[in-house]
Amino acid sequence: MNLDALMVFIMITPLFSAGIIALFLRDKGTVASWLSVAASGVILALSILLLLNAPEKPYSSSIEWFAVGELTISLGFLLNEHTHLLLFVVSFVGFWIHLFSIGYMDDDKAKARFFGGLSIFMFSMLGIVLADNLAMIFIFWELVGFSSYMLIAHYCDTDEAAAASKKAFIVNRVGDLGFLIGIVWCFWKFGTLDLSQIDLAVQLDPSLAVTGLGLLLICGFLGKSAQFPLHVWLPDAMAGPTPISALIHAATMVAAGIFLLVRIDVLLTPFVLEWIAWTGAGMAFIAGFVALGQNDIKKILAYSTLSQLGYMAAAVGIGLPGLGLFHLTTHAFFKALLFLCSGSIIHACHHEQDIFKMGGLFKRMPITSIAFLAGMVALMGANYTAGYWSKEAIMTAAFALDGPIFWFLIGGAVMTALYMGRLFFIAFLGKPRSPGVEHCKESGPIMLLPLLVLGVLALVGGFYTYWPEILSQSFISEANEVYHGEEFHHAHETLKVWGTVAWISGLIIAFAIYGLGTKGDRVANKIPPLYALFRRRLFIDDVYDFYVAKIQQRFVDILGFLDLFLISGVMVRGSAGIAGLVGVFSRSLHVGSVHAYVYWFLLGIVLFWAFAMGWF
Amino acid sequence: MTLSLNSFLLISGLLFAIGFFGVLLRRNVLVIFMSLEMMLNAAILALVAFSRFNGIMDGNIFVFFIITVAAAEIAVGLAIIVALFRKRQSVMVEQLSSLKN
C-alpha cells in the first residue's frame, strides 16, 4: 500500500469535487450536493484504509515545491499518532455533517455554492492535518479561513452574515499575522520549517525554543481557536448555515488551533504553556456566563464551544496535550451533534433560533430531542458519557498539577450545566411560544441518521480503552496515567465526587432559575444589569468597536490624508505635472513651418558656437 | 593682378549669406535646396582659398569629400522633392505642415 498515493488521493478528492462543482454544477444544486457527499464518503473510506495500513512509527515524506535562496518550501505529509486521530475526526464527523446538510439545505437557493464550499473546506482542513511543515500548514490555515469566510457569508443577502464573515476574516488575520511572523522567525532560527526537523533540533538543544517565538506562533491558535482576546468572531460566525457551525465552527476548524499547539508542542516554553493554560481556563469559565445571556440557540452553543476549547487549551497548557486531543475528539462528536440537533430544530421551526420562542420541542421532535439530550449530557460531563472521560481527565490533571487552573475549570463545568440546563428547559420543555414552533415536525431520516450515529458516540465514545489502538495512541498513556497513575490517585478520587457535584449542581441551579420553561429570561427580569453584562458579551465587542471606530479610524484618517496629499498629490500628480509642462513647452517649438526650424537650427548653432568659444 | 585671400573670403561669405537667406526666406523647396548648395559651395571656396594661401593640400582634399557628399545629397534630396511633388502637387513649404496637425 502506497501511503503517499493514498494521502494524495485523500487530499485531491474534495478538491476535485469542489472544482467540478465550481466549474460545471453551479446551478445544479442537487447533483452538487450528492457529489460533495460522495467525496466526503470517499475521504472517509480512504482515511479508514490509511489508518488500517498506517505504519507503527511516524512516517513523513515530502517533495520540494520551490526554493528561494536558502528557503526551501516543500510539500509533504507527516503521519503520526496526532494525524491519525485528527484524520479520523475530520473525515468521520465531516461525512455525517455532509449527509445532514442534504436534508438541511434542501430548500436553499445556493446549494451548489454551499456544497462546493464544504468540499473546499474539507480539502483545506485535511491539508492542515496532513502537512509536515509550517509553511504548508500556514497555506492551508489560510484556506480554511477562506472557506470559513465563504460559508459564514452563505446568506450573504443579510447584513448579519455579511458583517459576521468580514469579522471572522479580519480577526483571524490579526492572529495569522503573528503566526506568520513566528514562522519566519522559526525559519531564521532553525533553517527549516519541517516539523520533524524542528522537533529533532529542539530535542538536541532545548534552549532553541524561546518564549517570544512560542508567543508568536500561538497567535495563530488564538485566532483560529477563538481564544481571548481574539474570540469575538466565533459567536457572530453563527450567522452561517447550521451544518457549517457544526463542521467548521465546532468540530474541526476551531480545533485546528489545538492541533497546531500539539504539532509545535516542543517550541512552547513553560511561560507560553502557562499563558495558554490561563487563557484556556479563563475562557472555559467566562464563556459560560456569556452563554447565559444569549437567546439564540446557536450563540449559546458557540459560547459553549469557546468554553470547551478553553478546556483543550488548558490541557495543552498544563503539559498534557494528548488529553487536549482526547477532548477535541469527544467534543467533535457531541458538539457537532448539538449543532446538528439545533439545525434540525431550526429547519423544522422555519429558521426560528430564539429559544424563548421555542418550547415544548420534546413532544414535537422526540428523536432530535433525545439526541440533543445525549449531546448535552456529554457536554456537561455527566458520568460515563464521552465528555465525562475527556473533561474529567483534564480537570483531574489540573487538580493535581495546577490548583488555580482547576478552580476555573470546575467553575466552567458548573456553568456548562447551568447554561445547557437553561437552554434545555426553555426550548424543549413547557409550551410552544410561537406559531411556527407549534406546528414543527420531526425531521426526515437523512437528518436523523447523523444525529443517531453521533448521539451514540456522544454517549459511549469516551471509553477510550475500547478504541482502536491507532486512534487512541496519541493520548492513551496520558489518560491511563491520569485515571490509574499513583500521582493522580488522590485527584481522581476527589474529582469522581466533585465532577458529578459540578454538573448536577449546575442543572439544579438552572432548574431553580428557569423552571420548566419560562416566557422571559428570569435573570433579565430580576437583575437587569447582570443580564445586560452577559448579553453584551462582557462588553468586549464594544471595546473593540470603540477602538476601531474612535482610535483606529482616526489613525486611518491621518494615513488617508497623507496618502491623498503627499503620495497622490505631491509625488504622483506633481511629477506628472512637471513632465506635462515640459511637454507643453517643447510642443510649442513645433510650429509646423520649415522656416521656423531653420531659425531653431541657427539658434542651436549659435549656442554650440558660444559654448565652443567658452562663453559659458 | 593677383587676388588676395581677403577677396576670396569675401566672395565666400557673400555666397554663404545669400544661400542662408535663401533658405530662410524662399518658399519653394527647390530654391531652398539650391540655396543650400550655394552655402556648401561657399564653404568649398573658402577651403580652396585657405589651401592655396597656406600652400598645403589638406583643404583641396577635403573639398573632394565635400563634393562627393554633396552629389550624394543632391541625388537623395532631389528624389525626395520629386516624390513630394507627386504626392502633394506642390513644393511650397507653407503647404508642407501636416506634422503640425
ipTM of the complex: 0.72
Q: Could B93 and A593 be called an inter-chain contact, meaning their C-beta atoms sit closer than 8 Å? A: yes
Interatomic CA distance for residues A434 and A482, integer angstroms:
48
Q: Could B24 and A599 be called an inter-chain contact, meaning their C-beta atoms sit closer than 8 Å? A: yes
* A406 plus A483 within the same structural domain: yes
Please name the residue of chain B whose CA is at the shortest distance from the CA of residue A594.
B93
Q: Residue with C-alpha cell 467534543?
A: A331
* A513 plus A616 within the same structural domain: no
- Minimal Cα–Cα distance from B52 to chain A, Å? 27
Q: B interface toward A at CB cutoff 8 Å? A: 23-25, 32, 93-94, 96-101
Q: Is residue A118 part of a domain?
A: no
According to the model, what pLDDT value does residue A578 have? 94
Q: Could B96 and A590 be called an inter-chain contact, meaning their C-beta atoms sit closer than 8 Å? A: no
Interatomic CA distance for residues A557 and A240, integer angstroms:
32
Q: Can you list the positions of beta strands (E) in B1-101?
A: none
Task: Name residues 551-590 of chain A within 8 A of B (Cβ).
Answer: 590
Q: Is residue A504 part of a domain?
A: yes
Q: Could A593 and B94 be called an inter-chain contact, meaning their C-beta atoms sit closer than 8 Å? A: yes
pLDDT tens digits for range A388-411: 888 888 888 888 887 788 889 989
* A606 plus A504 within the same structural domain: no
| Over residues A162-185, mean pLDDT | 91
Q: Flag whether pLDDT at A92 surpasses 80.
A: yes
* A481 plus A592 within the same structural domain: no
Give, for all 101 residues of chain B, the pLDDT tens digit.
577 889 999 999 999 999 988 988 888 889 999 999 999 999 999 999 999 889 889 889 999 999 999 999 999 999 999 998 998 888 888 777 776 65
Interatomic CA distance for residues A126 and A7, integer angstroms:
9
Q: Is residue A42 part of a domain?
A: no
> A110: which residues sit within 8 A by CB, 6+ positions away?
A29, A154
Q: Could B96 and A594 be called an inter-chain contact, meaning their C-beta atoms sit closer than 8 Å? A: yes
* A311 plus A370 within the same structural domain: yes
- Choose between A533 and A284: higher pLDDT: A284
A590: chain B residues, CB-CB within 8 Å? 99-100
Q: Could A593 and B24 be called an inter-chain contact, meaning their C-beta atoms sit closer than 8 Å? A: no
Across-strand partners of A449?
none
Q: Which of A590, A591, A595 lies nearest to residue B93, judging by beta carbons?
A: A595
* A280 plus A322 within the same structural domain: yes
* A483 plus A554 within the same structural domain: no
Q: Is residue A45 part of a domain?
A: no
* A324 plus A449 within the same structural domain: yes
Pick the residue of A588, A589, A594, A598 with the most B CBs within 10 A to test the interface with B by mutation.
A594
A605: chain B residues, CB-CB within 8 Å? none
B21: chain A residues, CB-CB within 8 Å? none
Q: Could A591 and B23 be called an inter-chain contact, meaning their C-beta atoms sit closer than 8 Å? A: no
Q: Is residue A254 part of a domain?
A: no
The CATH label, of 3.20.20.140, 3.30.9.10, 1.10.287.3510, 3.40.50.410, for the domain at B5-92 is 1.10.287.3510
Across-strand partners of A296?
A354
- The phi and psi torsions of A442 (rounded to 5 degrees) equal -60, 145
Residue A558 domain boundaries: 539-572
Q: Which of B24, B94, B98 lies nearest to residue A598, judging by beta carbons?
A: B24
Q: Flag whether pLDDT at A600 surpasses 90.
A: no
Q: Return the number of CB contacts < 8 Å for A and B.
A: 21
pLDDT tens digits for range A218-276: 898 999 988 888 888 888 888 889 999 999 998 889 888 999 999 888 888 889 899 99
Q: Flag whether pLDDT at A1 surpasses 80.
A: no
Q: Which of A592, A598, A599 lies nearest to residue B97, judging by beta carbons?
A: A592
* A305 plus A454 within the same structural domain: yes
* A514 plus A583 within the same structural domain: no
Q: Is residue A440 part of a domain?
A: yes
Name the pTM for this structure: 0.79
* A301 plus A398 within the same structural domain: yes
Q: Does the beta carbon of A601 lie under 8 angstroms from any beta carbon of chain B?
A: no
| Over residues A448-474, mean pLDDT | 87
Mean pLDDT of the residues in chain A: 87
* A364 plus A386 within the same structural domain: yes
B92: chain A residues, CB-CB within 8 Å? none
- Residue whose C-alpha is closest to residue A61's, from A14, A3, A125, A12: A3
3-state secondary structure A224-259: HCCCCCCCCHHHHHHHCCHHHHHHHHHHCHHHHHHH
* Total of domains in chain A: 3
